A = this chain, B = another copy of it.
């Protein structure tokens, strides 16, 4: 009989309101099978934790604390934006990972992240095979941007969608009350894909209901068209509520607002679209405006998480661990939609290679012809994802989010000089 081996889990990329629900699923599934899994080690700050042999020994965390991860936002073990180079470019990194895994008898690798992270998991799977190191590499999808292919939805998206739809609805009620405020702009995340901006469209059910305009990264931003549309909506409805994706670009491909910073994946850090649009509104229309920039608040808003999203995040975490434990390699669990209404879904499987580095944008049939709103087909897709309110427990007026002890496992190897 095989002795139990250890499981390495890590979180990568921008965190979400529910990535810890996936962590909870992974760890609970592993704890349920002591015959297969000894210790679950979590990488401190994602894959970098493996490279540096910064392994959090999760066996010191109580069952209650692990259960509380299900309702705790952020990444409990620390995330990171770090993309491994190709094997040809930096084989040493991959060898280091295998060395660390060998030293700690890691037989299961479960990596929770977006497209870049699925790429990392996929490359590692290949290198391990070529080095004859026995490990099951499985991904867990996660991204608020909802830009992974194949899976019906990425855990994290449903909750940010719900937050953005509710915030847009609430702000619209406020704006309608204030006759002097003509334009309200809320800036939401979505670097290349307009899924989050689209979710703002759920706040209204017909064209006269806010939001009146949605600016998608998939539609080239044209200042004149934007100004004309704002003027038109203010004339028709008394005010204009705009949901703007941080990632909107002009026809020439330049971002409307770049912060000037880059992340370690080399992506431009965005931000400042709302102030920019507000300046345009003031300068060209003279309307009184307000704007909000939701930024981290939107993806951390566990207090109003979508119950569907929490359940899916947890289910995919569990499924990933179970897949790894049963020897599945180079795959990730995904959400398969079997019915729109009532919404029904099940967990399927896909190849990491098929998901890595492929960005799913809003399809043209989800955007109205004028480019400023979502279609009925888009509503059919989005609506199920924001169903249910999975409220966290509260003490003293604040959510009871958990901070783990994060005890480090003793190192066994020399420090990494990468």
A residues apposed to B, CB below 8 Å: 11, 14-15, 17, 45, 72-76, 78-81, 162, 165-167, 169-171, 173-180, 184, 186, 202-203, 260-261, 263-264, 269, 271-272, 274-275, 282, 288-297, 299-304, 306, 383, 386-389, 391, 394, 396-399, 401
A165 and B72 CA atoms in complex are apart in Å by 15
Residue pair B180, A81 in contact (C-beta under 8 Å): yes
A304–B304 contact, CB under 8 A? yes
**Assembly CA distance A398 to B391 (angstroms):** 14
> A291's closest neighbor in chain B, by CB?
B295
- Tell me, rounded to whole Å, the shortest Cβ–Cβ distance linking A33 to chain B: 27
Q: Which of chain B's residues has its CB closest to A173's CB? A: B74
- Copies per complex? 2
Main secondary structure of the interface of A (DSSP, over half): mixed
CB-contact partner of A295 in B76, B179, B290, under 8 A: B290
- Structural contact, A203 and B398, CB atoms closer than 8 A: yes
The reply to whether A303 and B170 contact each other, CB–CB distance below 8 Å, is yes
**A165 — which chain B residues lie within 8 A by C-beta?**
397-398
Q: Once the chains bind, are A296 and B261 in contact (CB under 8 Å)? A: no
> When chains A and B are docked, how far (Å) is the Cα of A14 from the Cα of B288?
14
* Cα–Cα distance between A14 and B177 once the two chains are bound (Å): 9
In whole Å, how far is A17's beta carbon from the nearest beta carbon of chain B? 8
Q: Which residues of B contact A269 (CB under 8 A)?
A: 288
Whose C-beta in chain B lies nearest to the C-beta of A80? B179
What residues of chain B lie closer than 8 Å to A302, measured between beta carbons? 170
Distance of A76 from chain B, by nearest CB (Å):
8
Q: A242 CA to B389 CA in the complex, in Å? A: 29
Q: How far is the CA of A306 from the CA of B260 in the complex (A)?
A: 39
Q: A206: shortest Cβ distance to chain B, in Å? A: 12
Report which of B76, B170, B394 forms a contact with A301, defined as CB distance below 8 A.
Answer: B170
Name the one of B171, B293, B401 contacting A293, with C-beta atoms under 8 angstroms: B293
* A72 vs chain B, min Cβ distance (A): 7
Contact A263 B180 (CB under 8 A): yes
Query: Residue on B with the closest CB to A298?
Result: B292
Across the interface, do A297 and B173 meet the contact criterion of CB distance under 8 Å? no
Pick the contact of A383: B177, B291, B387, B396 (CB < 8 A): B396
Quick check: A177 and B75 within 8 Å, CB to CB? yes
Nearest Cβ on chain B to A249's Cβ, whole angstroms: 20
- Complex alpha-carbon distance, A202 and B186, angstroms: 26
Question: Could you list some 28 contacts between A and B, CB below 8 A?
Answer: A11-B177, A73-B173, A73-B174, A74-B174, A74-B177, A79-B178, A80-B180, A162-B397, A165-B397, A165-B398, A166-B398, A166-B399, A167-B301, A170-B301, A170-B401, A174-B296, A174-B300, A175-B296, A186-B297, A269-B288, A274-B293, A275-B275, A291-B295, A294-B297, A303-B304, A304-B304, A383-B397, A388-B397
Given A11-B177, A73-B173, A401-B173, also A296-B184 (CB < 8 A): yes
Q: Is the CB of A173 within 8 A of B300?
A: yes
- Looking at A169, A292, A397, the one whose CB has the most chain B CB atoms below 10 A away is A397
Closest chain-B Cβ to A260's Cβ sits at a distance in Å of: 7
Q: Is there an interface contact between A272 and B271, defined as CB atoms closer than 8 Å?
A: no
Q: Which of B162, B170, B282 interacts with A300 by CB under 8 Å?
A: B170
Closest to A161 in B: B397
Could you tell me if A297 and B169 are in contact, using CB atoms closer than 8 angstroms? no
Interface centre among A165, A301, A398, A399 (most CB of B within 10 A): A398
Please, which residues of chain B bring their CB within 8 A of the CB of A179?
45, 78-80
A81 to chain B: closest residue by CB: B180
CB pair A306 B397 closer than 8 Å: yes
Task: Give the residue among A170, A264, A398 with the most B Cβ atoms within 10 A.
Answer: A170
Inter-chain contact A14/B178, CB cutoff 8 Å: yes
With CB as the reference atom, state the residue of chain B lying closest to A19: B177
Q: Which residue of B lies closest to A185 (CB)?
A: B295
